[in-house]
Structure 1
């Protein structure tokens, strides 16, 4: 018999839940340069007059969509109980200066094992005009407060 926390929190039936797109994030040369410096990548592709964003820059935008997941009161997720265990990207094209990008998060899977939620996420990165740029897929491990 599921506990009250399990019946009102995240459950496998939440797979497929999709959240509204975030407001557009406008990619700038300054943000690309800051990110490239932070990850210590001096590739000329990320610097200069017409840079592209490093592939992992997508997480700056995807993280905005993650906030909607953690703000969903029905799921009962807590960031301080979460470990980001896996990340992958499927790219259509790199992000460029001036791109306006929205992020739409879908819960792709939910598995529960002994007080731990294993959550698959897919974040679609798109322009407001509907051009698909990339998909950022992640796996989160979330421990429930009722875990023994």
Structure 2
């Protein structure tokens, strides 16, 4: 986990407070799938407690766990970018309590308030960059002859 992917580090307090107005508390049992790669992305979560494993389908193999997310981290970014299709899968690695957000409602607010929209875009963009790097390193560790090189 890195602070660049957490809710607290990413959004200024005023935008964070606005986002939290859309929050709905939810929970997942260990082993529950939050979403599946390739399906419609219509919501996202911020973890309150527990751990969520992000995974990537690898043809001919079991799904590769790319990263584990915990307290304060954003689960899901595909909701923010058309065509709004999950690029990864996610599963509760332990019991999880989270804030759930309706993606369409948040996107609408982003369109109505450009300052809020920019803050959310910077936040989500930072998460995407981090997840891309995490996926690269994990896949090299799993499948490259010499791993990721231990960076």
TM band (smaller chain):
under 0.3
TM-score, normalised with respect to structure 1 = 0.23
TM-score, structure 2 as length reference: 0.23
